[in-house]
Amino acid sequence: MDQRTDVRNIAIIAHVDHGKTTLVDQLLRQSGIFRANEAVAERVMDSNDLERERGITILSKNTAVMYNDVKVNIVDTPGHADFGGEVERILMMVDGVLLLVDAFEGCMPQTRFVLKKALGLGKKPLVVINKVDRPGARPAEVVDEVLDLFIELGADEDQLEFPVVYASGKGGYATVDPGEEGTDMKPLLDAILREIPAPKGDLTGPAQVLFSNIDYDDYVGRIGIGRVERGEVHNGQNVVLCHRDGTTKNVKITKLYQFEGLHRVEVEEARLGDIVAVSGIADLNIGETACAPECVEPLPFVQIDEPTVSMMFMVNNSPFAGREGKFVTSRNLRERLFKEVETNVAMRVEETDSPDTFKVSGRGELHLSILIEQMRRQDFEFQVSAPQVIYKEVNGKKYEPIELLMIEVPDSYVGAVMEKLGSRKAEIVNMGTRDTGMTHLEFKIPARGLMGYRQEFLTDTNGNGIMNNVFDGYEPYKGDIQERAQGSLIAHETGESTGYGLWYAQDRGRLFIGPGVEVYEGMIVGVSPKSDDITVNVCKKKHVTNTRSSSADEALRLTPPTILSLEQSLEFIKNDELVEVTPKNIRMRKTVLS
């Protein structure tokens, strides 16, 4: 077995704001890779505003630092959300993980998911207690907390003996001894070289490259990012690409890159253990292996979770169309959506009978709502339908997707969470309390039971809870949960909306627009069908909703009961006057979740 002593590959796991960007900037600066004009402001590791706001990283980025003639490839991990096995694929590229923890705040539960995966895959952890310069920093305690967490997450004995480095990314120094004043980042780089295993394998065998990620660049198109698992690859080399379906294709590597600092640079060759990028291979997909023609041996595919929820994206044909967005046509929408699936592997886009409507399927509401939000920020104007769970038929029986839901809440909210989830057919599978006053809960829940729950959860826990879910499998359909109204907002028409354009209410049949959405006069902002009448809340004057029922809304009562349908307009008798409300800004319907 050969070993590359001149390469180390690590993934960074960090909670937002624990100083990952600052620390990586420092490593780049001190290793002299920064060009003069690349200020700290070039925060490429975590550059997406939306990601920062939500505290998750959606796209993983690559960085590389040279130190003592060793190339250290640093791969970012998505904070705590995982849409379709991305975390696992990223971890396949590395031999160790750098867990970055704020010396004052300590471990945050958001990183738990990625950390558990990393430990489970046997990756060597290096713990960096960061921001030791902070007043109130408590590095020794935080190390104990990390140890407790590792034990809880099932770390093996070697992993429990994790090395620790104390750092101040801001101060630009690291030390191995917490009592010492550091001067530079060398102790951290030394620890990486010493502690993280160098890539091992066969340096001289036939080339084999496993592609773990796909990136997209407007100039060169699709870019595969992966690791050389065996031998050497050369620019211009002919390789056989092994597709997921078992077919193969002969392709030529026309552009081969490695990472230098924050950039991708063209190289002539790469060897075992190198993290590489290739462009020019149009139908390269995630998880595929490129092999030397004389030895076609695909590596196992990391599973990409199937989409469980779908939604229609439609051209906005309402009278408001074109008022808010720049990109409004079906061609705009089509191009944008199909570009998305180039890199967002757990997402699917399908044409429908209507050229104006596209079916988009993803890993849940959050996955889809992030796309909606991104598109809105990019000035797209479109409508979306209510999300639908994707069911499967197996031997003539209906099966439904089940999610493993992980929740972390302060103890006092456990009751509220359990009660809500109980009515959503969740079954508790694991529960644990920690000294910190936080309880960890794990449930199995039908995907439909999760619909609309995230927003409610945040409200119920006053924003102090954390939830995360991963696909668990398909199970026979569990029967109706409860009758519930579902709605979807026509994205973008609400102007300065900061909401996701999606909202639900769990109470039987109630529907309200969530907070932070700009609403206009005449727009229906809430519906609560009671047993013998329906109360409809109509916006009286333009405002941004701040709570579920807003003072600027006017309630109208409708009798006898009426089911709201997509194209229907409503008439009310109010103060002996006929009031007509057209649901032009809103589409809603009453659905029995089945």
What is the C-alpha end-to-end distance of the chain, expressed in Å? 55
Q: Is the peptide bond before 560 cis (omega within 30 degrees of 0)?
A: yes
What's the CA gap between 365 and 394, in Å, rounded?
Answer: 24
Point out which residues bind ligand GDP (CB under 6 A). Answer: 14, 16-22, 46, 130-131, 133-134, 168-171
Q: Closest approach of Cβ 168 to ligand GDP, in Å?
A: 4
Q: In this complex, which beta carbon is closest to ligand GDP, that of residue 134 or of residue 478?
A: 134
Q: Closest approach of Cβ 96 to ligand GDP, in Å?
A: 19
Q: Is the dihedral of CA 506, 509, 515, 516 positive or negative?
A: positive
Q: In this complex, which beta carbon is closest to ligand GDP, that of residue 29 or of residue 510?
A: 29
Q: In this complex, which beta carbon is closest to ligand GDP, that of residue 98 or of residue 284?
A: 98
Q: In this complex, which beta carbon is closest to ligand GDP, that of residue 130 or of residue 385?
A: 130
The CA-based diameter of the chain, rounded to the nearest angstrom, is: 88
Q: In this complex, which beta carbon is closest to ligand GDP, that of residue 178 or of residue 206?
A: 178
508: how many CB neighbours lie within 10 A of its CB? 14
How far is CA 193 from its chain centroid? Answer: 30
143: how many CB neighbours lie within 10 A of its CB? 19
What's the CA gap between 547 and 528, in Å, rounded?
Answer: 16
Q: Phi and psi for 365 in degrees, rounded to 5?
A: -60, -40
Q: With contact defined as beta carbons under 8 Å apart, do 87 and 78 qualify?
A: yes
Q: Closest approach of Cβ 15 to ligand GDP, in Å?
A: 7
Q: Closest approach of Cβ 167 to ligand GDP, in Å?
A: 7
What's the CA gap between 310 and 313, in Å, rounded?
Answer: 10
Q: Which residues contact 395 (CB under 8 A, 6 or more apart)?
A: none
Q: With contact defined as beta carbons under 8 Å apart, do 191 and 68 qualify?
A: no
Q: In this complex, which beta carbon is closest to ligand GDP, that of residue 61 or of residue 227?
A: 61
Q: Closest approach of Cβ 500 to ligand GDP, in Å?
A: 22
Q: Closest approach of Cβ 262 to ligand GDP, in Å?
A: 14
Q: In this complex, which beta carbon is closest to ligand GDP, that of residue 67 or of residue 173?
A: 173
What's the CA gap between 431 and 444, in Å, rounded?
Answer: 12
Helix axes 453-460, 414-422, angle to 10 degrees: 150
How far is CA 557 from its chain centroid? Answer: 41
How crowded is the C-beta side of 405, counted as CA atoms within 13 Å?
A: 30
Q: In this complex, which beta carbon is closest to ligand GDP, that of residue 128 or of residue 299?
A: 128
Q: Closest approach of Cβ 466 to ligand GDP, in Å?
A: 16
Q: Closest approach of Cβ 180 to ligand GDP, in Å?
A: 15
Query: Three-state DSSP class for 521?
Result: coil
Tokens of 517: 């959405």
**How many Å is the Cα radius of gyration of the chain?**
26
Q: Closest approach of Cβ 374 to ligand GDP, in Å?
A: 19
Q: In this complex, which beta carbon is closest to ligand GDP, that of residue 6 or of residue 133?
A: 133
* CA–CA–CA angle 250, 95, 190 (5° rounding): 130
Q: Closest approach of Cβ 133 to ligand GDP, in Å?
A: 5
Q: In this complex, which beta carbon is closest to ligand GDP, that of residue 38 or of residue 269?
A: 38
Q: Which residues contact 41 (CB under 8 A, 6 or more apart)?
A: none
Q: Closest approach of Cβ 368 to ligand GDP, in Å?
A: 25
Q: In this complex, which beta carbon is closest to ligand GDP, that of residue 22 or of residue 332?
A: 22
